Structure 1
Amino acid sequence: MSVLETFHGLLSLAVENGASDIHIKSNKPAFLRLSGHLESVEMDPIPPSAVREFVEQTIPEEFYDDWHRHRQIDYSYRVEGVGRFRVNGFLQRGLPSVVMRHVSDHPPTFEDLHIDGDTLANLCAEKDGIVLLCGPTGSGKSSTLASMINYINHTYDKHIVTLEDPIEFTYTDIKSIINQREIGIDCPTFAQGMRAVLRQDPDVILVGEMRDRDTFETALQASETGHLVFGTLHASNAQQAVQRLFEFFPEERKHAMQRQIAGALRATITQKLLPALEGGGRLPIAETFIVDSLARKTIMEGRFEKIEAVIEANEDNGSKTFNQDLYRLVKAGRITREDALNNSPNPRQLEMNLKGIFLSSGGIVQ
């Protein structure tokens, strides 16, 4: 059996079993991530030569020199009849490893992801501004963004340009025109792609990742000139996300940026994935920070430590804290109490809430 046949068999096995990721390390059997847990595949260890051969046979020609120069690479790979995968190849202790994530050919809907469709639909209806999806790697950011692009595509006649590294979900034009550009193949960098996109008559721009000041400054400029910009940011909550935006700028510019960022930001949505009680798989929990007049004032004044309190007080506008979402999912029987408490940023408060005790500005409410 050839190397490609072996790897294609593993990818088929992963898709058939609903695995999100396939881990291949030299001299080890493959592992599949199923419902968040790693499970080994019953097979012989995969030799380093086979891992290296798979990467070098499947990597796009444009990335070949990068792989040899930097010893790590991201790219997309399709197996006919099986699906598309996001591939990361890298060396560890001099030996090649590969992690592949299965990406559906069909962008998900809000219902598929079990997320708050009303709030996301409202954000998709914004004419301009910046919406950030936050969370660690593997928290479902890309899937949530794809569901928002999918919603716009089915609802509005817009020109959508995406900048991705690599392209994950692919779209068929429905009501919108969607141009997807892959970093390294269709444009050199996010920053250069962002500078070019403003000359492409977009209505909606998706930036795979806000990595540097140039990219974010161009996103700010786009939002201020009538474009809706979606992007991702590595942050564990809304306060950290907002503060991270200011970290792009030198100290002397941070105060001047407060009004500009407050005016451009529409929302941050920070996600985690927890095991679902029914049907297997994982469910997203989210902290949602909708930037209304109170939130803008908080950002303009630099009172970032007040952001969680602003979220907690503004549930009516779609904002919610992690604890509010965890409480909802436990009460609905969707996740376990133990998982909720283990993933809560404030487990003592959540435990009180689950007992029916809530703190308000007027004291304890039962």
Structure 2
Amino acid sequence: MTVPVLPEIRDPVRYDRDSLDSCLRTLVSSGASDVLLVPESPVRAYLRGRWETVGTRSLKTHEIADILNAIDMGNSSSMVAAGQARNFAYEISLGDRTSRLRLRVNASGARRSGNRDIKIVLRTIPDTPPTLDSMGLPQELAVALFPLDGLVCVAGATGSGKSTLLSAILRERLERRGCHIATAEAPIEFVYDKVETRNTGIIVQSEIPTHHPSFGKAVEEMLRQKPDVILVGEARDAETIANTVLACQTGHAAYTTVHTNGVGETIGRMAEAFPGPERDAAASKLLAAMRVLIHQRLLRKADGSGRVPIREWLVFDREVKRTLFSESWSRWPFVIGELLDARGSSAVHDARRAFSSGLITKDDFQAIEGGA
């Protein structure tokens, strides 16, 4: 396999929007998934599972501030330096009316050379969501991802491909099933302009806080719009989780993401968003609503050509729910771990498969095995 070579960027005398756009086009065409801009450092890009230096000149704080102001609102740099992080999508033309490069931008305060420095990370978003077939999912899991109602959760760290997997699921629903999908995202990442909907499917995307003040309020509004399916960008607070569960209880299929380290701890972590006296009831409602839980991480391929997803997953059928409801929810992580091992769907099982196929290194396999 030919591994793309990341080019060294010829740094301009001063970075502005045009030079940034040119830099991004070059890096993304070479396979970079993320670009990092921090003061007192050259431009860095994430390629084949690691950060590489691609510039020769260190950026200055004022350059990064100027870039942020140019691609976002005029005073964004002052807001970020004062502690208000910015998350938004950014588009670049690729030379014709239909081709574009989309990136998710996170800008936050940092300390490098002073107290009011700014750090920017730009992550590429494919122009069209991937197909579900390209995700390499086991058949049993792929079938379970399309319930008539209930909750499908994708867990993992930032940058683990959660949004990519969910976009493939929504694309499949639009292309083959035809339905009304409503989303709340922060920011909107994948767009579905080029997805064939068979004239029966429609997706309406909204952004937090542009269109709704919060995920929780967005779900309230979406339930008044008669969607078949809702996507909630992240379930991290009690209001969002409660409203998403309510959507499931009223006949909707809901998809969301959470930041956890494994399937076993996810329901408990979500329940902990509620005040102590409400946690038992919250855990029970989450279990009743749950249909599928997936945890995903991306590891660098052994040959350095890209990254490979390592997943663990559990379909919450009647047998699983009966087993868990017979136990205190504080024991669910241990019981779920036993179920994952018994069903061969743990992260260790998937990592062993990837290692046996030569996709990941022995060190990475042992790291997952040791952390299980």
Q: TM-score range by the shorter chain?
A: 0.7 to 0.9
Q: Is the 8 A contact 1:62 1:184 kept in 2?
A: no
1:321 match: 346
1:197 and 2:252 correspond: no
- The CA deviation string for residues 229-261 of structure 1, in whole angstroms up to 9 with x for no partner, is 100001101121011121122222233334322
Matched, 1:153 2:166: no
Map of 1:360 onto structure 2:
none
Aligned to 2:38: 25
Which stretches in structure 1 are left out of the alignment for 5+ residues? 348-366
Q: What is the one-letter code of the residue matched to 1:313?
A: A
Q: State whether structure 2 residue 126 is matched by structure 1 residue 104.
A: yes
Equivalent position SS for 1:344: helix
Which piece of structure 1 moves more, 42-51 or 174-183?
A: 42-51
Counterpart in the other structure of 2:337: 308
**Alignment CA distance shift 1:329-1:214 (3 Å):** same
Cα contact 1:134–1:241 (8 A) shared by 2:
yes
Contact kept in structure 2, 1:133 and 1:233, CA below 8 Å: yes
Runs (5+) with no aligned partner, structure 2: 1-11, 95-99
From the superposition, tell whether residues 253 and 107 of structure 1 become closer, same or farther in structure 2 (CA, over 3 Å).
same
Within 5 Å, which residues of 2 pair with 1:1-366? 3-60=16-73, 67=80, 70-81=83-94, 83-93=101-111, 94-113=116-135, 115-116=136-137, 118-172=139-193, 174-175=196-197, 176-277=201-302, 280-300=305-325, 301=327, 302=329, 303-304=331-332, 305-315=334-344, 320-345=345-370
**Letter of the 2:301 counterpart:** A
What secondary structure, in the 3-state scheme, does the structure 1 residue paired with 2:173 have? helix
Structure 2 distance, partners of 1:290, 1:62, is: 47
Change (3 A) 1:169 1:61: farther
Distance 1:178 1:342, change over 3 A: same
Q: Deviations over 1:296-319 (max 9, x none)?
A: 12432223121110122234xxxx
Q: 1:120 to 1:170 in 2, by over 3 A?
A: farther
Is this contact kept in 2: 1:159–1:178, CA < 8 A? yes
Give 2:176's aligned amino acid: T
- Name the SS of the counterpart of 1:324 in structure 2: helix
Structure 1 counterpart of 2:343, one-letter code: N
Q: How many residue pairs end up in the alignment?
A: 342
Q: 1:258 to 1:129 in 2, by over 3 A?
A: same
For the aligned residue pairs, the C-alpha RMSD in angstroms reads: 2.1
Q: How far off its partner does 1:214 sit?
A: 0.5
Identical-pair percentage: 30
Separation (CA, whole Å) in 1 of partners of 2:173 and 2:74: 33
